[in-house]
Structure 1
Amino acid sequence: MPQVRNPILPGFNPDPSILRVGDDYYIATSTFEWYPGVQIHHSRDLANWDLVVRPLNRKSQLDMRGDPDSCGVWAPCLTHDGDRFWLVYTDVKRKDGAFKDAHNYIVSAPAIEGPWSEPFYINSSGFDPSLFHDDDGRKWFVNMLWDHRRRPQVFAGIALQEFDPKAGKLVGPRKNIFPGTELGLVEGPHLYKRNGWYYLLTAEGGTGYEHAVTFCRSRDIWGPYETHPQKHILSSKDHPHAALQRAGHGDIVDTPDGKTYLVHLTGRPVTQLRRCVLGRETAIQECYWADDGWLYVKNGPVPSLFVDLPAARDDDKYWAEQRYTFEAGLLHKDFQWLRTPEPERIFRTENGKLTLVGRESVGSWFEQSLVARRQTHFSYDAETVIDFSPTDERQFAGLTAYYCRYNFFYLAVSAHSDGQRELLILASEATWPLGTLRVPLLEGVPIPNEGKVRLALSIRGGRELQFYYALEGETELKKIGPVLDASIVSDECGGHQQHGSFTGAFVGVAASDLNGTAAEASFDYFVYRPAKHESDRYEI
């Protein structure tokens, strides 16, 4: 079998839930505050994956305006009961402080492309819910419990309750079936049934460098559940030099020929500060069922960088330049925006251009015009051409490398208070809870008040970022501003306390009009060009 290098879903693709229907595999991953909600990728060979749908795409299913950074859609669970696809997800409205306002919903569809139903609201007692379809036809809702009274350990265990799909609600008793191990922070539950055993897989240790996959089993769905002889069947927590760190939050799938694989969250840190500039990614491990009836990770519990899979990866596709154009009414599936279910208020595509309507600031939690794609390589170049005529310093638009309100870099076309157009570099200090703005380029670079501007950036090794620009009629890009610390655009600098930042780096375009006049900025194209660099130790 070909050896494939992990991760299989590079860049921000955390909390994988995997499913096989016939010969088709699907992985659903978290999208947090990025809209539309939930990414579902498809594969026939476990090595090559294509994004097929983001099912939460209308206001009645998901409205995240006001959701703080790294809130929104957490840890979806995708299942199939032989007739329909089922998707369970959480919309988190608050995560910092004593309380978690985490609302859990279920939608379903006859096909993976949809149409996806209106949601059933289930509960708000915890997050990371999943749905288990037992062989007797009953459906069971499983989620972690949050108990604000239990300080500092507010993760209270894994709850089980029956779900009635006709009534669209939970019925019968609820029981805490697994308190977790001493590692703590038990979450991410998935139930399976095999040879008369109920197996419960959970995530523990938080989503940082102590993360782990814990496995247990019971003869009765209600428990008691005994813990695996290894306790944690996958983790990098005791191996700080392993290529794949932060390994945890997994799900398992069987192949038609009887093999079992575990997909799991992981991160690939760079710099001596161990910053995961690509966020939390999805990796895969081969497993086997031993004679004792337990599942083991091959060569585990430390995750392997290389894994035997049924097919080789198409590396030419991975390294190909992506040049995006903007046809009327279409936005390429690689792009997302932030929070709002009303995208018509922030952008449109027409006449071969992407036009952004200037709204709130680049750090807004409500309505900001920012359209971007994931950073999936440690080194890359990006560029666009902007047509924008600001009147003062409160109107700005341009190219951004973005994580959240607390950490971003932004090369913007703006104007001085006297109306003279200029180029500015804006950045966030990555401080919590303020997210202080700084200006690495002390003085704006004056540019003509008319004409398009070509904006570009390069990131190398996830460490160094350089901006460039060229005026209309110029062919050569010129450097602007200093070399910046690209590693700031990472989970570890997400402006929150430990285990508090969950997304990943994006690159894209943005526009703000703090005058409230909805000034528009148009972009002719967008290019994302992967680059190979000697410092990219764990690049695919």
Structure 2
Amino acid sequence: MNVITNPVLCGFNPDPSIVRVEDDYYIATSTFEWFPGVQIHHSRDLVNWRLLKRPLDRISQLNMAGNGDSDGVWAPCLTYDNGLFYLIYTDVKSHKGAFKDTHNYLVTAASIEGPWSEPVYLNSSGFDPSLFHDEDGRKWLLNMRWDFRKGKNKFGGIVIQEYAEAEGRLIGPVTTIFEGTEIGFTEGPHVYKKDGYYYLLTAEGGTRYRHAVTVARSVSLFGPYEVDPHNPMLTSSGQPELLLQKAGHGSLVETQSGDWYMAHLCARPVDGFHCILGRETALQKCYWDDEGWLRLEGGGNSPSSQIAAPALPLYPFEREAERDDFDAHQLGDQWNTLRIPPGPDWLSLSERPGFLRLKGMESLSSCHRQSLVARRQQAFNIDIETVVEFAPDSFQQMAGLILYYNTEDYVYLRITHLEQHGRVIGIIRSDRGVYDELLEVDLPLPDSGPVYLKAAVNRETLQFYYAVEAGTWSPAGGEINIAHLSDEAKEPLRFTGTFAGVCVQDLAGTRKAADFDYFIYREME
């Protein structure tokens, strides 16, 4: 018997929406302020997965310049009907304070690999939209509705409205079909029809340690919905011994042979609380009991770290190379930028072939134009390494190696120029928005030539190294606790995960460039 080991999508891959098309399985996950928007992973056996497509790859589909931390793409929904893929997503412009500016869109494609259409605007009444294709051919948009009013439940229930595909718009009344349970924070709706019932899955409890999957059913799409008498159907709440915490936000898929699996988000704390990898995606095997309720295989409602795989031939994919020499004409799919797409005005792989050239733009505090390229940290223990050629003229010009969570939380091994010392290397840290320079005195560097940069991460501990000759590493400072690179480190809750990458800043506005020859990402576990 083959086994699925959870998480199946490690690192920052939350809010999974799973769908099967013939023999292929796809999971779409949230990307928040990172560009391109939405990650779609592919599998043929539910055991082995590969990143296949990031469909929101142009500004006309996703313009996030100015979006704040943890804004951007929330909770996509991927479905398939009559030869067409449908991808629903929210572009959150602000979620601070009482209000949330949440704009919901639809794009479509005949092939999962695109081309994906221009977006159709749907509504802005809430977030976590999903599309249900009923048996009669009608299509229905569901989302949670945000109620900002004083004294009201902010999670104001699950609403539904018909989508008229031919007209490209929503029509008819908006109806509240489910107000949630006593667990609260009702969001993430998905509807499935089976044996005469409409089954409504929602996420409840908030996307942290009380998170859960709630199941309810009705003979009518519009309710009333009867809640599973053993609700919640899935949760890690109150079970700190479990490997997979925060279990919730589920979606369902039926295999070719009639087995059922649930994709759900989870998280793995490094120190009992902080989850530096962010929220990840896991799978659970399910079945329908004699009363018609969804149950976990093996009983109970706790997520398992290993489950039985379906009886399908294994279909492994080639592993991603540890080293990227930047020899291609475009960035590999592992790479992401903040809010804006790569553009020739700030990023080039051709101006100096074999190098990634980044031209410095705004500071690490900017929500508009950062010259930063990074990939997800997907294991607790990693080594990352690069070499950079950079000749700064002032302290306002910086380049180097970064562990980045958001504009308030990062640790940065950077090269700069100081008036009295010339070219130097030091460490900048922002911990919950508090800026610091961790070395008492920045370390001197030769006036020119490449500088090798390295970081070793062991769970919540980081150690930086540098060298001016390949292989002759010296530590840059001491060990650094990076638990603040996590959702849990600050209120209100954040939603992403740690990224490792390279960046350049030029706060004088002259677009000083840095050239990176390679990047190594190596998992040590």
TM-score range (shorter-chain normalised) is: over 0.9
**Partner of residue 496 from structure 1, selected from 491, 498, 507:** 491
**Partner of residue 466 from structure 2, selected from 469, 492, 498:** 469
Over residues 393-422 of structure 1, what are the superposed CA-to-partner deviations in whole Å (9 max), with x where a residue is unaligned? Answer: 110000001111111110001010347000
Matched residues in 2 for 1:16 and 1:346: separation?
Answer: 32
Over residues 144-163 of structure 1, what are the superposed CA-to-partner deviations in whole Å (9 max), with x where a residue is unaligned? Answer: 00011154631100000000
What's the CA shift for 1:195? Answer: 1.0
Mind listing any 5+ residue stretches in structure 2 that lack a counterpart?
Answer: none
AA matched with 1:456: K
Between 288-297 and 146-155, report the one with greater CA deviation. 146-155
Check whether the contact 2:36–2:57 (CA below 8 A) recurs between aligned residues: yes
AA matched with 2:491: H
Matched residues in 2 for 1:314 and 1:437: separation?
Answer: 47
Check whether the contact 2:84–2:111 (CA below 8 A) recurs between aligned residues: yes
2:412 equivalent in structure 1: 410
Check whether the contact 2:384–2:456 (CA below 8 A) recurs between aligned residues: yes
Change (3 A) 1:108 1:480: same
1:374 equivalent in structure 2: 376
1:437 equivalent in structure 2: 435
2:9 equivalent in structure 1: 9
Check whether the contact 2:144–2:159 (CA below 8 A) recurs between aligned residues: yes
Check whether the contact 1:24–1:43 (CA below 8 A) recurs between aligned residues: yes
Pairing 1:487–2:483 present = yes
What's the CA shift for 1:342? Answer: 5.3
1:529 equivalent in structure 2: 522
Over residues 209-239 of structure 1, what are the superposed CA-to-partner deviations in whole Å (9 max), with x where a residue is unaligned? Answer: 0100000000011110010111210001121
Give me the CA root mean square deviation: 1.6
Pairing 1:52–2:52 present = yes
SS of 1:492's equivalent in the other structure is helix
SS of 1:97's equivalent in the other structure is coil
Pairing 1:513–2:506 present = yes
SS of 1:488's equivalent in the other structure is coil
Change (3 A) 1:11 1:474: closer
AA matched with 2:371: S
2:455 equivalent in structure 1: 457
SS of 1:231's equivalent in the other structure is coil
What's the CA shift for 1:424? Answer: 1.3
Matched residues in 2 for 1:81 and 1:345: separation?
Answer: 40
Matched residues in 2 for 1:25 and 1:404: separation?
Answer: 31
SS of 1:345's equivalent in the other structure is coil
Change (3 A) 1:80 1:344: same
Check whether the contact 2:452–2:470 (CA below 8 A) recurs between aligned residues: no
Matched residues in 2 for 1:502 and 1:384: separation?
Answer: 28
Change (3 A) 1:159 1:316: closer
Check whether the contact 1:197–1:218 (CA below 8 A) recurs between aligned residues: yes
Over residues 332-351 of structure 1, what are the superposed CA-to-partner deviations in whole Å (9 max), with x where a residue is unaligned? Answer: 11010100135333311120
AA matched with 1:464: T
Change (3 A) 1:152 1:324: farther
Pairing 1:307–2:320 present = no
Over residues 460-499 of structure 1, what are the superposed CA-to-partner deviations in whole Å (9 max), with x where a residue is unaligned? Answer: 1x1210000000x343211111100022211112x432xx
AA matched with 1:289: W
SS of 1:232's equivalent in the other structure is coil
AA matched with 1:469: Y
AA matched with 1:122: L
Over residues 277-309 of structure 1, what are the superposed CA-to-partner deviations in whole Å (9 max), with x where a residue is unaligned? Answer: 110000000000111111111233110011111
2:292 equivalent in structure 1: 293
Matched residues in 2 for 1:424 and 1:313: separation?
Answer: 47
Matched residues in 1 for 2:96 and 2:30: separation?
Answer: 19
AA matched with 1:322: E
Matched residues in 2 for 1:402 and 1:160: separation?
Answer: 38
1:283 equivalent in structure 2: 282
TM-score, normalising length from structure 1? 0.94
AA matched with 2:463: Q
Check whether the contact 1:63–1:341 (CA below 8 A) recurs between aligned residues: no
2:115 equivalent in structure 1: 115
AA matched with 2:74: W
Structure 1 segment 254-269 matched on structure 2, within 5 A: 254-269=254-269
AA matched with 1:526: F
Change (3 A) 1:218 1:459: same
AA matched with 1:484: I
AA matched with 1:279: G
TM-score, normalising length from structure 2? 0.97
Over residues 324-370 of structure 1, what are the superposed CA-to-partner deviations in whole Å (9 max), with x where a residue is unaligned? Answer: 12125211110101001353333111201101110001221000011
SS of 2:128's equivalent in the other structure is coil
Change (3 A) 1:279 1:317: farther
SS of 1:398's equivalent in the other structure is strand
Change (3 A) 1:444 1:315: farther
SS of 2:232's equivalent in the other structure is strand
**Partner of residue 362 from structure 1, selected from 364, 368, 377:** 364
Matched residues in 2 for 1:9 and 1:199: separation?
Answer: 26
Mind listing any 5+ residue stretches in structure 1 that lack a counterpart?
Answer: 533-540
Check whether the contact 2:3–2:47 (CA below 8 A) recurs between aligned residues: no
SS of 2:344's equivalent in the other structure is helix
1:106 equivalent in structure 2: 106
Between 357-366 and 7-16, report the one with greater CA deviation. 357-366
Change (3 A) 1:382 1:22: same
Check whether the contact 1:260–1:286 (CA below 8 A) recurs between aligned residues: yes
Between 91-100 and 323-332, report the one with greater CA deviation. 323-332
What's the CA shift for 1:165? Answer: 1.0
SS of 1:356's equivalent in the other structure is strand
1:230 equivalent in structure 2: 230
Following TM superposition, the consecutive aligned residue runs of length 4 or more in structure 1 with deviations greater than 3 angstroms are: 310-318
2:219 equivalent in structure 1: 219
Percent identity between matched residues is 50
Matched residues in 2 for 1:275 and 1:383: separation?
Answer: 25
2:94 equivalent in structure 1: 94
1:143 equivalent in structure 2: 143
Between 31-40 and 306-315, report the one with greater CA deviation. 306-315
SS of 1:293's equivalent in the other structure is coil
SS of 2:379's equivalent in the other structure is coil
SS of 1:37's equivalent in the other structure is coil
Check whether the contact 2:48–2:317 (CA below 8 A) recurs between aligned residues: no
